[in-house]
Chains A and B, each alone.
Chain A
Amino acid sequence: MIVAERKPMEEILQMIAPYKKVLLAGCGTCVAICWTGGEKEVGILSSQLRLARGKEGDKTNTVEATVERQCEKEMVEELRDKVEGVEAVLSLACGAGIQTMAEVFEDKPVFPAVNTTFLGSPEGEGVWLENCGACGDCFLDRTGGICPMVRCAKGILNGPCGGTRKGGKCEIDPDKDCGWVLIYRRLEKQGRLDLMRKYYPPKNFRAVKRPGKMKAIKA
């Protein structure tokens, strides 16, 4: 799932400073699930913005709207009336959603209220951990289902590096596990350490040429 975090308030206030009437657009999918940009969060951010600007005697108009998936042009199109009535759009969706808004409503400034950070899964309630690097050349068959591109901080294919901390934690962040220690333990459990003992040549970093594009065929 795509995970995003709300931008610092100063950044948001600065972005919309010149605009009196702003639409806050949320998304009901990924960002709603990670409590960053769903309907509820749109309501809270709108309230904060009105409070912030009200302090300065600013009569700000905010409009709130949340669509199911902001990366779908048809769904975003439903907001046309609301968008036409405002000067700018502040989107709480992930980068894909923000850009769809910007493309569909080309003449309106569209601003990101969030920073899209990674693809991940919940580690616990409200705690998200990155686990897929979207590299286009999936390696999970060789590492017991643990991605070395992102679970390893350096993204190496023949790990671990020499910096593993005591207890198998990462050199860079003692709160994170060394991805390759995790891979070792997983493969050991399955009796498949031979996979880790193999030499893996340099990765094809051009498996996905940015911007990635895929033509899908419906069955």
Chain B
Amino acid sequence: MNGEIIAFCCEHSAYAAADAAGKQGLHYPEKLRVIRVPCAGRVDIIHMLKALEEGAAAVLVLGCEDGLCQHLTGNVRAKERVKYSGMLLTEVGIDGGRVGMFNLAANAPHKFIKIIKEMNERIKKQGR
């Protein structure tokens, strides 16, 4: 992972949106790796930290909209874990904003692109 943005995408929402974005030919930053997960709640703190350790520039966790998690509270847990991970990064002098959690629906490919682009901007400003 060389300066890539890692995006853990919930298969019920974000992954479908990413897929749709691809099919519609929407343009997104090159250095993006999408990882499909059964639920945003499957992503643990250590996954986010390790991704950054291995060279990722940022980690996104993308899950279902509030109240619509198929596993009921997966997206809620993911949010808390991302927040905690941000704090762990800040503790060691790394921008806590390099991990982020976002909610979107399966039919929101444009939102998907927007999220990626915004994170990309953030990293660019800081220098990968």
Contact = CB atoms under 8 A, between A and B. Distances in A.
A and B touch in the complex (CB under 8 A): yes
A9 interface: yes
Contact of B89 (A50, A51, A54): A51
Contact of B53 (A13, A40, A47): A47
Nearest to A9: B91
Nearest to B45: A44
Interface string A35-64: 000001001100111111011000000000
A125 B49 CA distance: 25
A41 B103 CA distance: 28
Instruction: With a 10 A CB-CB cut-off, give which of A13, A44, A52, A54 has the most chain B CB atoms.
Output: A44
Taking chain A's interface residues, is the majority helix, strand, or loop, or is none over half, making it mixed?
Answer: helix
B52 interface: yes
Contacts of A48: 49, 88-89, 91-92
Interface string B75-98: 000000000000011011110000
B7 to A, nearest CB: 20
A65 to B, nearest CB: 16
Contacts of B45: 44
**B: contact size bracket:** 10 to 19
Given A47-B53, A51-B53, A54-B53, A9 B46 contact: no
Contact of B52 (A9, A40, A51): A51
Contacts, number: 33
Instruction: With a 10 A CB-CB cut-off, give which of B50, B53, B91, B92 has the most chain A CB atoms.
Output: B92
Contacts of B94: 51-52, 55
A24 to B, nearest CB: 13
B45 to A, nearest CB: 6
Instruction: With a 10 A CB-CB cut-off, give which of B52, B91, B94 has the most chain A CB atoms.
Output: B91
A43 B48 CA distance: 12
A43 B93 CA distance: 18
A55 B92 contact: yes
Nearest to B91: A9
A70 B94 CA distance: 32
20 contacts: A9-B92, A40-B46, A44-B45, A47-B46, A47-B50, A47-B53, A48-B88, A48-B89, A49-B92, A50-B53, A51-B49, A51-B53, A51-B89, A51-B92, A51-B94, A52-B92, A52-B94, A54-B53, A55-B92, A55-B94
Interface of B: 45-46, 49-50, 52-53, 88-89, 91-94
Interface of A: 9, 13, 40, 43-44, 47-52, 54-55
